[in-house]
């Protein structure tokens, strides 16, 4: 009888107050792919959040990283940076990336995606995408 009481107590405790909205979470993944041309940056609103994907061409030896800034007024800036982390032959490759934002509050958002090679002069970023999307 005691395990049933403990289980019932756990269920009641977990059904207490409503859950507060969570802060947005940003996840970023990339991989090298061969045999395709550059694809346009794409934004897709999904049930779980928003996916931002694209292709960033670099030479071999670079790894991509992504960072997201959440500015006031529902403005988002995604910066995709190519970082030279190893010596490799000067062979052009396509780096496919996906940035995923989950727990984004409802509303209309303005998104800018910038691509930057780490060894280029500061401030030399290329605007890969600028548009709006809606989270319902």
From first to last of its 136 residues, what are the pLDDT tens digits of the chain? 555 544 444 444 455 445 555 688 999 999 998 777 778 899 999 988 899 999 999 889 999 999 999 998 899 999 999 999 999 998 889 999 999 999 998 899 999 999 999 876 665 789 999 999 999 8
Does residue 100 contact residue 26 with C-beta atoms inside 8 Å? yes
CA distance 112 to 99: 13
What does pTM read for this prediction?
A: 0.78
Sign of the alpha-carbon torsion through 93, 90, 120, 82: positive
Distances (CA, A) of 97 to 26, 42, 50, 106: 13, 11, 14, 25
């Amino acid at each position: 009888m005691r395990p049933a009481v403990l289980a019932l107590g756990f269920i009641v405790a977990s059904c207490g107050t409503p859950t507060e909205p969570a802060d947005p979470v940003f996840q970023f993944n990339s991989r090298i792919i061969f045999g395709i041309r550059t694809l346009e940056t794409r934004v897709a609103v999904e049930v779980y959040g928003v996916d931002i994907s694209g292709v960033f061409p670099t030479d071999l030896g670079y790894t991509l990283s992504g960072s997201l800034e959440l500015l006031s007024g529902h403005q988002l800036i995604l910066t995709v940076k190519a970082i030279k982390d190893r010596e490799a032959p000067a062979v052009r490759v396509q780096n496919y990336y996906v940035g995923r934002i989950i727990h984004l509050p409802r509303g209309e958002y303005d998104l800018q995606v910038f691509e930057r090679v780490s060894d280029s002069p500061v401030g030399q970023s290329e605007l890969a995408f600028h548009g709006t999307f809606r989270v319902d």
